[in-house]
Amino acid sequence: MEGTSSRLEAGRLPGTGAPPKPWHEVHRALADPLRIRLLEWLAEEPRSARQLAGCAGMPADRLYYHLGQLEQAGLIEVVSYRRLARGKAERVYARAETEPPGDDASPEQTAAFLGSVLEATAMDITAAYQARQSGHRREVDLHRGALRLTDQALAELRGYIGQFAERFADPGADGTWTRVVLALVDVQDRPAADPPPGSPA
């Protein structure tokens, strides 16, 4: 869900956010399921700590440390200040432009990140089932399977996923925010790529 900067209200701060840091410098900030969820909520739209507390169902003062960790890692930034009663103001955070995990991450760093993603997903699923038991409407679909994909089919699938995500990621569109977690993982080595036609074998 990109394009955060185009949705900011008047009074946006000038671009003072630090440039994206290498993946190995931010993995610790993401090795916590609550921070994963904070980052996802901020990807939907800019929010203050008070608004994020409403999403998380906990007091705002319990989030300041986690927001500080995400901001220090360059994953979020303060984009504006919102005036409150009695002359006070609150910070409004948004997700910063960052690079996705790269090959420079160690297996331990990647495992810590994935563990946090899975735990955050489990928290979302638990919350959805609890809401359903209370009479609310929440949809939950789980699927785990295996597909035999050639290199061409894998590239096509990645393209479809990207197009689908871009189509339905507009925060201003109608619909219900739905968490989608996809993993494409080879469980065996891929055969060597075929040489291009006309090239020597």
What's the number of domains the chain is made of? 1
Domain at 120, CATH number? 1.10.10.10
> Is the pLDDT reported for residue 180 higher than 50?
yes
DSSP state at residue 83: E
Chain segment 53-99, per-residue pLDDT in tens:
999 889 999 999 999 988 888 888 888 888 888 778 888 999 887 65
Confidence of residue 28 (pLDDT cuts 50, 70, 90): confident
Q: Could you tell me if residue 70 is inside a domain?
A: yes
Most confident region among 11-15, 26-30, 129-133 by mean pLDDT: 129-133
| Domain of residue 89, residue span | 4-142
Confidence of residue 47 (pLDDT cuts 50, 70, 90): very high
Identify the pLDDT of residue 195: 65
Distance separating alpha carbons of residues 96 and 105, to the nearest angstrom = 20
Identify the pLDDT of residue 119: 86
Distance separating alpha carbons of residues 150 and 28, to the nearest angstrom = 35
Q: Could you tell me if residue 164 is inside a domain?
A: no
Q: Could you tell me if residue 57 is inside a domain?
A: yes
Of residues 27 and 96, the one with the higher pLDDT is 96
Closest CA to 11 of 75, 71, 83, 69: 83
Q: Could you tell me if residue 12 is inside a domain?
A: yes
Rg (CA), the chain: 20
Q: Could you tell me if residue 152 is inside a domain?
A: no
Q: Could you tell me if residue 113 is inside a domain?
A: yes
> Is the pLDDT reported for residue 138 higher than 80?
yes
Q: Could you tell me if residue 184 is inside a domain?
A: no
Strand blocks (E) in the chain: 47-48, 76-83, 89-95
> What Å distances lie between residue 78 and 43, 54, 85, 152, CA to CA?
13, 19, 20, 42
Tokens of 144: 């785990």
Distance separating alpha carbons of residues 9 and 83, to the nearest angstrom = 13
Distance separating alpha carbons of residues 3 and 46, to the nearest angstrom = 11
The percent of residues in the chain predicted with pLDDT above 90, rounded, is 28
Q: Could you tell me if residue 52 is inside a domain?
A: yes
